């Protein structure tokens, strides 16, 4: 089975670096610094899952989720946020999973393995 490709979108470089370190042994991790860069990546490449921060200054996670819903409805999404109601927001936006910041980084590989466990690969 091919290594799953995960797009991680966040506006904090420290968060991106931590997530890459936690996931790079198990996944092909692509980082996008902010929502605008994340949208460009989603338009150009295929991914098995998206890990998406909700609150970003340029294009926020709500806008990215709108794009995903309209163009990539089968893409599994895990939302990340420090907002206290991230679970409710995730359900409303159609995300399959969520984590509240600050999250326990060691849990991310298992959560993403479960998120991508349907057997589909990003590669055509």
Q: Give backbone dihedrals phi and psi of 25, rounded to 5 degrees, phi first.
A: -70, -30
Burial (CB count <10 Å: 0-12, 13-18, 19+), residue 38:
buried
Residue 104 pLDDT more than 80? yes
Q: What are residue 12's DSSP bridge partners?
A: none
Q: Which residue has the higher pLDDT, 89 or 37?
A: 37
Q: Report the Cα–Cα distance between both ends of the chain, in Å, rounded.
A: 13
Q: Which residue has the higher pLDDT, 24 or 118?
A: 24
Structure tokens given for 75:
């893409």
Predicted local distance difference test score (pLDDT) of residue 122: 47
Indicate the range of 55-59, 61-65, 75-79 predicted with least confidence. 55-59
CATH 3.40.50.2300 correct for 5-115:
yes
Name the 3-class secondary structure at 101.
coil
- In angstroms, rounded to a whole number, what is the distance separating the alpha carbons of residues 14 and 63? 23
Q: What angle do CA 12, 13, 18 make, to 5 degrees?
A: 105
Indicate the range of 52-56, 76-80, 90-94, 109-113 predicted with least confidence. 90-94
Structure tokens given for 52:
């998406």
Q: Span 24-30, mean pLDDT?
A: 96
Q: Which residue has the higher pLDDT, 101 or 73?
A: 73
Q: What angle do CA 96, 36, 16 make, to 5 degrees?
A: 65
Residue 95 pLDDT more than 60? yes
């Amino acid at each position: 089975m091919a290594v799953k490709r995960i797009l991680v979108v966040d506006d904090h470089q420290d968060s991106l670096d931590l997530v890459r370190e936690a996931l790079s042994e198990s996944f092909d991790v692509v980082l996008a610094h902010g929502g605008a860069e994340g949208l460009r990546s989603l338009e150009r490449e295929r991914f098995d899952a998206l890990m998406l921060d909700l609150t970003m200054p340029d294009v926020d996670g709500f806008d990215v989720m709108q794009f995903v819903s309209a163009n990539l409805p089968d893409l599994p999404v895990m939302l990340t946020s420090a907002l206290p109601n991230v679970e409710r927001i995730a359900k409303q936006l159609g995300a399959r999973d969520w984590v509240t910041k600050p999250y326990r980084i060691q849990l991310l590989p298992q959560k993403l393995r479960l998120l991508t466990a349907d057997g589909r690969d990003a590669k055509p």
